[in-house]
Amino acid sequence: MCLTVFLHNLCPSLLWSTSFVWHPHFIHCIKTNRKSYLTSQIQPLAICCNYWHFCWIPSHTGIKGNSCADQEAKLAVTSTVKPLPIPASDFKPYIIQYISLEWQKLWNSFPNNKLHQSHPTINSISPLPSSFSRKDQTVTNRLMIGHSRLTHLHLITKESPPLCSSCSCLLSIEHILCHCQAYQSIRRKYFSYTSLSDIFSKTPKKQLLKFLTEIDIYNKL
């Protein structure tokens, strides 16, 4: 049952309520000095007014939908609880959550894996934008696995590992994205993170591709 009290600004001894039957409750609260929000609003009136009037506002009375809802609510209180079959699809989120947790536990058992350092959580890899070309997808995937033609071709050709042309460090995806000072100013234009995990999880992939294009490495990966 909804209970609402309106205090009349011009005539404070008038109390408007949608519930008539609760008025004795108010009177009891005021007389016994019980604290509540409503009584705290009303009690000052008891001090400044010798008497006051309660006025009932019909509220929802006569509204067909409200009456039906009240009847159904009363019926639900007395009716017996019927067990309903739960559809199998309701378990799907729990199954997915359980599998994800187990997968994450397994992934955490390989902290020295190179991919674990760049992708520590299994849900950190989001799908590539549909606007990406085949070339964009290939370059992005090579970035994220840390293997590219530029950095790992020597494994096929049996040559020495490539060195960075700017600082002579061993050339790697991490060196290009995180460490090489030659790309520092250009890097700041597109992202400010310094770890692979942050770069891959927080930087839009399009920004990474623009960075690679500007340092002239996009077509070499």
Minimal distance in Å, beta carbon 145 to Zn ion?
21
In Å, what is the CA distance from 202 to each residue of 118, 167, 187, 192, 208? 12, 27, 14, 10, 11
Stretch that binds Zn ion, among 33-41, 99-107, 166-174, 213-221 (CB under 5 A): 166-174
Stretch that binds Zn ion, among 12-20, 33-41, 50-58, 156-164 (CB under 5 A): 156-164
In Å, what is the CA distance from 51 to each residue of 5, 13, 78, 129, 217? 17, 7, 41, 72, 87
Minimal distance in Å, beta carbon 164 to Zn ion?
3
Minimal distance in Å, beta carbon 217 to Zn ion?
11
- Residue closer to Zn ion, measured from CB, 155 or 182: 182
167 binding Zn ion? (CB under 5 A): yes
Residue 196 CB burial class (10 angstroms; 0-12, 13-18, ≥19): buried
- Residue closer to Zn ion, measured from CB, 161 or 204: 161
101 binding Zn ion? (CB under 5 A): no
In Å, what is the CA distance from 93 to each residue of 67, 124, 146? 38, 18, 32
In Å, what is the CA distance from 195 to each residue of 162, 166, 183, 199? 22, 21, 15, 6
- Residue closer to Zn ion, measured from CB, 132 or 191: 191
Stretch that binds Zn ion, among 64-72, 94-102, 159-167, 199-207 (CB under 5 A): 159-167
CA dihedral 106, 111, 112, 114 (to 10 degrees): 80
Minimal distance in Å, beta carbon 169 to Zn ion?
5
Rg of the chain, C-alpha, whole Å = 35
Stretch that binds Zn ion, among 71-79, 84-92, 177-185, 192-200 (CB under 5 A): 177-185
- Residue closer to Zn ion, measured from CB, 123 or 166: 166
Residues 6 or more apart whose CB falls under 8 angstroms from that of 174 comprise 118, 146, 196
Q: How far apart are alpha carbons 3 and 53 in whole angstroms?
A: 17
Stretch that binds Zn ion, among 83-91, 94-102, 146-154, 180-188 (CB under 5 A): 180-188
Q: How far apart are alpha carbons 176 and 178 in whole angstroms?
A: 6
166 binding Zn ion? (CB under 5 A): yes
- Residue closer to Zn ion, measured from CB, 116 or 179: 179
215 binding Zn ion? (CB under 5 A): no
List contacts with Zn ion (CB under 5 A).
Answer: 164, 166-167, 180
